[in-house]
Amino acid sequence: MEAIRKITVALAGNPNSGKTTIFNNLTGSRQHVGNYAGVTIEKKEGECSHRGVDIRIVDLPGSYSLTAYSPEEVVARRFILEDRPDVVVCVIDASNLERNLYLAVQFMELEVPLVLNFNMMDISEARGDRLDVARLSETLGVPIVPTVGHRRQGMSALLDCVVEAGRKKKAGIVPTYSPDLEQALRLIQSRVNGNLKGQSLPSRWLAIKLLEKDPEFARQWNGSAVMEEAKLQSARLEDKLEESAETLLAQERYDFISRTCEAAVHRESPKETLSDKADALLTHRVYGIPIFLAAMFTVFWATFNLSSLPCEWIESGIGRLAATVSSFWPAGADSPLRSLLVDGIIGGVGSVIVFLPNVIVLFLAIGLLEDSGYMPRAAFIMDRLMHRIGLHGKSSIPLLLGFGCSVPAIMATRTLENRRDRLTTMLIAPLMSCGARLPIYALIIPAFFAVQWQAPLLWSIYLIGIVLAILSAKLLKSTLFKGAAAPFVMELPPYRIPRLRDTILHVWERCAMYLRKAGTVILTISILLWALTTFPQQESRALAQAELTEAAGLVEEPADSLSNSYAGRIGRFLEPVLRPMGFDWKIGTALLGAVAAKEVFVAQMGIVYAAGEDEAPLRQRLQQNYSPLVGFCIMLFCLISAPCMATVAVTWRESGSFYWALLQFAGLTVLAYILTTAVYQVGVRAGIGI
Amino acid sequence: MSESLALSASLEDYLEAIFHIAADKKVARSKDISNRLGVNNSSVTGALRALAERGLVNYAPYDLITLTDEGKAVAEDVIRRHEALRDFFVRVLSIDAQTAEEGACKMEHVIPQSILERFIEFVDFVELCPRAGTDWIQKFESFCKGVPDRQLCSECITLVEGKPESKPDEGRERQAGTITLGDLKIGQRARLVKVRGQGEVHKRLIDMGMVPGVVIAVERIAPLGDPIDFKLRGYHLSLRKEEAKLVTVAVLEEGRV
C-alpha cells in the first residue's frame, strides 16, 4: 500500500449546508457559523491529523453551482480548478437533498476524487425521510458519510473516508445524459481532445462548460474550432429541443438526481413543519413588519436595561482599583507614574471595559437572530423597502450586522452579487450604529436624560442612523451607482433553535475581540492621549487645583496645564471649527481619539476629567459641564462621523480602492458636521435642552 | 393608439435589442446595439434620442443605456409578440427556425393584439384538442411537402369516430406562455414550462432547480407584497415579482396543498 503523508481536502457545498461546522469539528478551530447563506465568504484553512496522515482542510464559501455567479462562488470554483485538492468533500444538507446534489453532480462531471458528506441527518430523520445511503453510494460510485455536524457525529468516519479517498484518488461515475446531449458533447469533446492547450481538466467537462457557454472558458477558447463546434452544437440543440443548452444541461442534471433518488430515498409527504408555522407568523402580511420592528426595539432595550447592573459593578470595581493604585503614593504627592496608571490606563481602558455587559447583550441578541435563521426573513420582509431605496433585500443582512460591528458588516456585503449594490451597502454600513458607539450613548444618555427617556432616545439615535442610511443610499443610487436593479433570488432556510454552545461561542469571540481591542489599540491610544494631555507639565502644585476649577465650568482662559498640554493645544486649535456644534476643545481631543476606535471617545473623556482624588463619576462631571443639547450633539456626531480605522481599512480592502474608503470617511464626516451644527444652532436658538 | 405615440417598427426593434443586451450583459452600449442590429452608429444615436424623448430609455451620449420601466414594458410586449408568432410558425406551420425568426421579426410590429391572442389560443387548441394534437401537425407537415395521401384521411375519420378519447391530465393544465409564477396566488401549484430571458438571472434560476417540469408552489408573499416565497424540490426560494414573471408555468390545481 502506498504510504501518503499529507493531503489537501476541500470542503465544498451549498450555502448553509454546514461546511463550517464540519470544518470546526475537524480542525478544532472556531470559525463563525450562522443560519443563512453566505456566512463564510473567504476560504479558510485548518489542519488535522488522522491515522498518520496530515490533512490540510480548506473550507470554501458556499456555492450552488460551479457556474460561478457571485464573488464567493468564484473563490470556490477557482480553488477547485486551480489548486486541484486531493479530495473534494461535498457537504450536503440531507434535508434538502435534490438541490444539494446538483453541485455534487457537477463535481462528478469534473471527475475529481469525491466524498459526499450527508450532513444534518438528524433533521432529515426527524422529518421521516429514509435515505438508503449504501444504495446511493453504489449508484453514484462515491463514498457517502452521514454526519450530524452540531453533535459531532460521524467525524471519524468522515476522516477515514477522506484518507481512503486521498489514497485511491478515484472519481465517482460520470453521469450520462440524454442521447441528444451526449451526441453534442461527444462531438465537442473530440475537438477538445485535439487541442487541450496543456489543460489537465477532463475533456468531457470542458465540453460541458463550452456547451453551457461558460464565460470564462468561452473567452479562453474564443475563435477556436472547438468553440465553433460548441456554438454549432448548442444552436442545434436549441433548435431541436427548443431550450437553451444550459437549461437542458441543468434539467438533465436534475433528472439524473431524481432518477438516482427515486430508488434510494423514501420521503414522507411534506407536512407543515414548525418552521412553516413560524414563518406564517414572522413573515405575516400584517404582523411581519411590526414583529420585525419590535424585535429590533427589544434588542436595544435589552442592551441598555439588562446590562445596567453589571455595568455599575464593573464601574465601582474600576473605581476601587484606581483608589487602591492611588494609595500606593502618599496623598497629595504628584507622580507622573501614578498619573499614567490611574488617569491614563485605568481611566482610559477602564471606561471602555465598563461597557462590556452592553456589548455582551447586543452580540447575544444578534447571535440569536443569526443562528435562528431570522436574518434571511428580515431580508425577505425588507426587500420591497430596500428595493425602493435602490438597494437589495440582501443588503439588510450586512446592515443588521452593522449594529454589531461595521467590519463584519462590510465583509458580509460579499453576498450581494451586484457591485453597485455592494458598494452602496458598504458605504452606508457605518451609519448603522455599531457596538463600539454604544459606550458613548451609554455614557451620555444617563448623564443628561431622565430614565423614561433613555430607551426611546437610544432607539431614536439608531433610527436617525437608519434614516440617514436610507437617504444616503438613495443619493448614491441616483448619482454614482445608477443602473438596473439586481434580481432577488434567495433561499429561506428552515428555522433552527440556536444551539447554546454556538451562541455562547459567538458572544465569547466578540467579547474577546472587544477586550483584546481594549488591551491593545485602546490601551496604546489611552497612553498616547494621556501623554498628550499631561505634557508639557507646568508647576505640579497648581495642576490638581487648576484642573478642578477647569472642570467646574467652561473656563476659557488657558491658564491650566490641561489646556496647555499638547492635546489641549490641538483641541484649542480645532475649537473654532468645533464651536458651531457646541463642542469645546476637550470634546475635540476625545473626537480625535474616536477616529482610531469609537470607544476611545469615552476613554479620553475619562482621562480629561480624571481628577485623581475626586471619585465623582464621569457622568456627573459631564452633567456639570455640558447641556443636554451638547450631549445629544455628541451622540449625533459620533453616530455619523468618520468611521473607525478598522472600518476604513476593511472598506478599502473590500471595495478594492482607496478612493471608496476616502469617500466614505470624508462624506460621513462632512455630513456629521453639517447636521450636528444645524441641530445645535437650532437647539440654542429655540432654547431646547440648554 | 394615436399615430404620434405609436412606435415605428424600427424603434421597436431597438427596444427589443436593448432588452436582450441588457438581459445578457446588464447594461447596453450603443456599440452593442449597432452590432446586434447591423446598423451604423449614427442611426443608433438617432433612434436612442427618439426613444429617450418618449421616455422609454435612459440615454445620454457616451453613457450606458438602460430601459425605463415603461420601455421595459413595451419591449416585453414586443418580445412576447415575437415569441408567440415564432412559436406559431414553428410549431403549427412547421416552418424552419431561421425563416420563422425572420418572419416574426417583421410581423411583430404590425399584428393587432386580438389576432395575436387568437394565434396563441390556436396553438394551445391544436396541441390540446384530441382531434388535432401533435400528430395532426406532423401530417400537415407532410402535406406541405406535397404528399397528400387520401388514404390517411379515412384512417383519421375512423379514429375520430371510433373513440372520443381525451387526455384528462393535460387538459387541466393551462398551457404555455400566458401564465407566469408572478400571477399565481398563495397555495397554487404549477408546473414550470420555461424560464425566459438570458444571462445571469436565468442561469441562477436554473441552477436553483427551476427547470422545465418541476412543480412549484406559492407559499407566501412578503408583507409589502414583494418578494414571493416559493417551494420547490423541498426547499424555500424567494423571488421578486419581476423575476417570477420570467418563469412561465402551467397551473396544476386550485387550493391549498
Residue written as cell 472556531?
Answer: A30
The full set of domains in chain B, from first to last, is 1-119 (1.10.10.10), 131-165 (no CATH), 181-253 (2.30.30.90)
Q: What is the pLDDT of residues A475-500, one digit of tens each?
A: 988 888 877 777 788 888 888 888 88
Closest approach of chain A CAs to the CA of B202, in angstroms?
A: 9
Q: What is the pLDDT of residues A93-137, one digit of tens each?
A: 998 899 999 999 999 999 999 999 999 888 888 888 888 999 999
Is B169's pLDDT higher than 50?
no
Strands B228-232 and B235-239: antiparallel
Question: A-chain residues within 8 Å CB-CB of B95?
Answer: none
- Distances A681 to A172, A637, A641 between C-alpha atoms, Å: 73, 14, 18
Which three three-digit cell numbers place residue A412? 458580509
Nearest to B238 among A65, A243, A488 (CB): A488
B194 touches chain A (CB under 8 A): yes
B118 touches chain A (CB under 8 A): no
Specify whether the CB–CB gap between B186 and B220 falls below 8 A: yes
Nearest to A67 among B201, B207, B222 (CB): B207
Q: What are phi and psi of A111, to 5 degrees?
A: 60, 45
Specify whether the CB–CB gap between B187 and B256 falls below 8 A: yes
Q: What is the pLDDT of residues A299-310, one digit of tens each?
A: 767 776 787 788
- Distances A679 to A454, A630, A674 between C-alpha atoms, Å: 19, 10, 9
Q: What is the pLDDT of residues B67-102, one digit of tens each?
A: 888 888 888 888 888 888 888 888 778 788 888 888
Lowest mean pLDDT among A43-52, A63-72, A558-567, B84-93: A558-567
* CA–CA distance, B107 with B123 (Å, rounded to integer): 17
Contact at CB, B212 and A279, closer than 8 angstroms: no
Question: B-chain residues within 8 Å CB-CB of A381?
Answer: 222-224
Prediction ipTM score: 0.76
Handedness of CA A450, A453, A455, A461 (dihedral sign): negative
Res. A610 pLDDT band, cuts 50 70 90: low
Contact at CB, A283 and B222, closer than 8 angstroms: yes
Specify whether the CB–CB gap between A594 and A600 falls below 8 A: yes
Contact at CB, B220 and A283, closer than 8 angstroms: yes
Give A359-391 as a DSSP string.
HHHHHHHHHHHHHHTHHHHHHHHHHHHHHHTT-
Contact at CB, B223 and A286, closer than 8 angstroms: yes
Strands A489-492 and B235-239: antiparallel
Contact at CB, B238 and A380, closer than 8 angstroms: yes
Question: A-chain residues within 8 Å CB-CB of B202?
Answer: 244, 246-247
Contact at CB, B227 and A380, closer than 8 angstroms: yes
Res. A159 pLDDT band, cuts 50 70 90: very high
Nearest CA in chain A to B98: A239
Contact at CB, B234 and A284, closer than 8 angstroms: no
Q: How many CB atoms lie within 10 A of CB A679?
A: 19
Is B139's pLDDT higher than 80?
no
Q: Which residues contact B113 (CB under 8 A, 6 or more apart)?
A: none
Contacts of B124-130 with C-beta under 8 Å, sequence gap 24+, read B124/B175, B124/B176, B126/B92, B127/B91, B127/B175, B128/B167, B128/B170, B128/B171, B128/B175, B130/B164, B130/B165, B130/B166, B130/B167
Mean pLDDT of A408-417: 74
Contact at CB, A487 and B66, closer than 8 angstroms: no
Res. A197 pLDDT band, cuts 50 70 90: low
Closest approach of chain A CAs to the CA of B205, in angstroms?
A: 8
Chain mean position to CA A34: 10
Q: For residues A335 and A123, which has the higher predicted lDDT (pLDDT)?
A: A123
Give A438-468 as a DSSP string.
HHHHHHHHHHHS-HHHHHHHHHHHHHHHHHH
Specify whether the CB–CB gap between A170 and A79 falls below 8 A: no
Q: How many CB atoms lie within 10 A of CB A261?
A: 18
Q: What is the pLDDT of residues A507-530, one digit of tens each?
A: 887 788 778 877 777 788 778 877
Smallest CA-to-CA distance from B180 within B227, B250, B229, B112 is with: B250
Is B148's pLDDT higher than 60?
no
Which three three-digit cell numbers place residue A542? 497648581
Specify whether the CB–CB gap between A668 and A594 falls below 8 A: no
* CA–CA distance, B113 with B109 (Å, rounded to integer): 10
Q: What pLDDT does B38 receive? A: 80
Contact at CB, A383 and B208, closer than 8 angstroms: no
Is A47's pLDDT higher than 80?
yes
Is B111's pLDDT higher than 90?
no
Res. B234 pLDDT band, cuts 50 70 90: confident
Nearest to A490 among B27, B221, B238 (CB): B238
DSSP state at residue A150: G
Q: What pLDDT does B170 receive? A: 41
* Helix, strand, or coil (residue A11): strand
Nearest to B200 among A69, A99, A254 (CB): A69
Amino acid identity of residue A664, one-letter, is: Q
The full set of domains in chain A, from first to last, is 6-168 (3.40.50.300), 179-266 (1.10.287.1770)
Contact at CB, A69 and B204, closer than 8 angstroms: yes
Contact at CB, B235 and A97, closer than 8 angstroms: no
| Total beta-carbon pairs less than 8 A apart between chain A and chain B | 135
Question: B-chain residues within 8 Å CB-CB of A246?
Answer: 202-203, 206
Question: A-chain residues within 8 Å CB-CB of B127?
Answer: none
B177-201 burial code (b ≥16 CB/10 A, e <16):
bbbbbbbbeeebbbebbbbbbbebb
Mean pLDDT of A389-397: 82
Angle CA B65–B67–B68, to nearest 5: 125
Q: For residues A145 and B64, which has the higher predicted lDDT (pLDDT)?
A: A145
